[in-house]
Chains A and B, each alone.
Chain A
Amino acid sequence: MSGPAQLEVSDLRVQITAQHGVVRPIDGVSLEIGAGEAVGLVGESGSGKSLTLKSILGLLPPEAKVTSGRVVFNGTDLTQLSRSRLNKVRGAKIAMIFQEPMSALNPVMRVGNQIAEGPRIHLGMSRAQSVRRAVDLMRRVGIPDPERRFRAFPHEFSGGMRQRVMIAMALSCDPELILCDEPTTALDVTIQDQILRLLAELCRESGTSLMFVTHDLPVVAQVCHQVAVMYAGRIVERGTVAEVFSRPLHPYTLGLLRSAPDVDRPGQSLVPIPGSPPSLASPPPGCRFHPRCKFAEEDCKATEPPLRLVDVSRVTACLHYERCLDEIGADT
């Protein structure tokens, strides 16, 4: 980790009051990002990864509420900020890139103006300055002929080009942190490759930190150094990408790695994770993964395992993580 944490999420809990009771999609999430770091947050649908990202900027849907926990960014707790104070952070210090650029962009506003809007509002640029900046940014993210494309509308762009516009918007105010919510999931593989390389390169150049939410493990490996794995509203494991993907210390991570075919390991047999994710309205007691875990013991049902440091920069919430290592050892 490089330097002190720039963003520190501690014990975040989010609650949604639905018709049939209370659901806790995020139940005690803690993570931190150092300046210039790229952290991946992975998990399957319903694990709470996107919601964690959205709660950082206070973008939760109205029925969801942060019930406890802190989101400290450069010393300020964002959950305590008023709407107007938070608006000074959004876009200016922390930017966000969404999955579906078509629905995240304003369909009736020229893309150039959408990029130029941020610098005008947050950096106090004049109209002419902000337009110049927008054209520069469009060139930097690889949009051909930016002077002319400035006046285009989002529908005139392809999916990959729209995502480039989103990236230009995110970069427009030189943010310290960019939050990405599955930015390439809707894109084709060659376009995904272009966008991932562009994001990684731009963040490296400008020293911007990145928090990257995805369900796709190999995508994390392309962009991030650190990865956190989420399951049923909690983080179950954290570490460097290389370590976590080669020596997982949580049976859920191991299950994810075993169930997805790896293009570089043809002929490997796929081992699905038995069962299905728990209901978030009534999660199982103890470790939330224990009903699906083949290493589960009595203590897994009784105690809620905390995230603990087990090795240099390796954090896991599994009481019996050694068994994962035994299992990998037995395989190779």
Chain B
Amino acid sequence: MSVQVMLEATGVEVAFPVGTSLGARLRHQQHMLHAVDGVDLAVRKGEALALVGESGSGKSTLARAIVGIQRTSHGQIELDGKVLPARRPSADRRRIQMVFQDPYSSLNPRLTVGGILRELLRVHHVVPRHEVDSHARELLRMVGLGEDAAGALPRQFSGGQRQRVAIARAIALRPELLVADEPVSALDVSVQATILNLLQELRAELGLTLLFISHNLAVVRHLCDRVAVMYMGRIIEVAPTEELFRDPRHPYTAGLLAAIPRMTTRDEGEAPAVRGDPPSPLRLPTGCRFRSRCPLAQPVCAEQDPALVTSRADPEHSAACHFAWTAETASAPEPV
């Protein structure tokens, strides 16, 4: 696969005001919650990149910022080397489409499935007017729904079928990048498989680039080429999927992997993989954000916020931990 960056996020920040009482606002004491706090991320053409992390890590907010439905407070997002403006022209919006987690609330309940697709095709002039109807049916066929699905309302479908409709809607505009935010989390296991297989087929068929947001690492390992791990608004490790599973360099990634329930019974009395709760995003620890739960934490972790550093041996692998590459740099210690 050629390494051609398609979408590049640089220094992206998204902050939400909290404590919105009038008094607080008048006294300028409004706190900002930094859901995404300085993220650099490159999505390569044709790849499936996973964005993983726990709730509150900022993965969905980052995804929404990339799609353009969430204003960023800082940073920029480039698509094919062109910076996307805050108000995106519709031609740019078309190129990045999204599938949401909940197929029950993300489809218009008053429109038939065919109506949802036809509206989209007409507004964006995807195909000539007289072909709109046949193209909508073609899309439904592509996602594995019968053509007669066009006349039905979303509520007549099961969760898995609705997610197929949501995918049909997303690919209707022939996007280059498909952002899927936990698309299978609300589905039963046997239905999950059909959606994951569909995403894989569509990738092959349409050459889609996929940004896949998930907390389920088994699904990620199955579907994605590379993984970016988020913790408290930051990306703390990026690596090719198998490399990440084989040799995680950030202690949080290692803990996350160890915490995955396995199909085999485990040893009794073993300590949990990661201790404690995540910190409040309003009161982050100084220095490294993970240090309050980190088994390796040292004094330096409280003083310095580790940057995302790329391995010298492997340019594909980066981690934001002071000790991620200590073995590599032992001969020539970096100024930490």
Could you tell me which A residues sit within 8 Å of B by CB distance?
Answer: 44-45, 158, 160-161, 188-194, 196-197, 200-201, 204, 215-219, 221-222, 225, 241-242, 245, 255-256, 258-264, 266-268, 270-273, 276
Contacts and interface: CB of A to CB of B under 8 A. Distances in A.
Contacts of B277: 158, 160-161, 191
B215 interface: yes
4 cross-chain pairs, A with B, having the tightest CB-CB distances, nearest first = A218-B261, A193-B259, A259-B193, A261-B222
A272 B256 CA distance: 27
Given A44-B188, A190-B54, A215-B188, A270 B259 contact: no
Given A255-B190, A268-B222, A221 B265 contact: yes
Contacts of B192: 259-260
Main secondary structure on chain A at its contact with chain B?
A: helix
Contacts of B260: 189, 218, 263
Contacts of B275: 194
A225 B277 CA distance: 29
Contacts, number: 124
A263 B221 contact: yes
Contacts of A218: 218, 260-263
A272 B221 contact: no
B193 A270 contact: yes
Interface of B: 54-55, 158, 160, 188-194, 196-197, 215, 217-219, 221-223, 241-242, 245, 255-256, 258-266, 268-275, 277-278
Given A259-B190, A271-B193, A266 B158 contact: no
Given A191-B277, A261-B196, A242 B259 contact: no
B261 A262 contact: no
Contacts of A268: 222
A263 B189 contact: no
B67 to A, nearest CB: 24
B216 to A, nearest CB: 8
Most central of A193, A194, A204 by chain B CB within 10 Å: A193
Given A263-B217, A263-B221, A216 B261 contact: yes
6 contacts: A188-B215, A190-B272, A196-B261, A200-B268, A267-B222, A272-B193
Nearest to A189: B259
A266 B189 contact: no
A272 B158 CA distance: 15
B218 A273 contact: no
A266 B256 contact: no
Contact of A272 (B191, B215, B270, B271): B191
Given A189-B256, A200-B268, A215-B188, A272 B274 contact: no
Nearest to A292: B190
A324 B116 CA distance: 42
Nearest to B242: A266
A258 B196 CA distance: 13
A142 B193 CA distance: 37
A256 B258 CA distance: 23
A44 B190 contact: yes
B294 to A, nearest CB: 12
Contact of A256 (B158, B189, B219, B273): B189
A270 B218 contact: no
Nearest to A195: B272
Given A218-B263, A263-B221, A270-B193, 9 more contacts: A189-B260, A190-B54, A193-B272, A194-B272, A201-B268, A216-B261, A242-B265, A261-B221, A268-B222
Contacts of A258: 193
Contacts of A241: 265
A180 B158 CA distance: 27
B256 A256 contact: no
A208 to B, nearest CB: 15
Contact of B189 (A160, A197, A215): A215
A272 B222 contact: no
Nearest to B56: A188
Given A189-B54, A261-B221, A272 B263 contact: no
A260 B193 contact: yes
A270 B196 contact: yes
A221 B256 contact: no
A197 B268 CA distance: 8
B221 A44 contact: no
Nearest to A240: B265
Contact of A270 (B55, B197, B273): B197
Contacts of B266: 221-222
Nearest to B222: A261
A161 B277 CA distance: 8
A116 B223 CA distance: 48
Most central of B190, B273, B278 by chain A CB within 10 Å: B190
A206 B217 CA distance: 33
Contact of B221 (A221, A222, A266, A270): A266
A189 B52 CA distance: 11
Nearest to B196: A270
Contacts of A273: 190, 193
Contacts of B217: 189, 263
B263 A221 contact: yes
A204 to B, nearest CB: 7
B77 to A, nearest CB: 27
B190 A256 contact: yes
A45 B158 CA distance: 12
A268 B221 CA distance: 10
Given A44-B189, A261-B218, A222 B261 contact: yes
Nearest to A219: B261
A190 B268 contact: no
B219 A261 contact: yes
B218 A262 contact: yes
Nearest to B160: A276
Contacts of A192: 259, 261
Contacts of B221: 261, 263, 266
Contacts of B189: 44, 215, 217, 256, 259-260
Nearest to A260: B189
A219 B263 CA distance: 8
B55 A262 contact: no
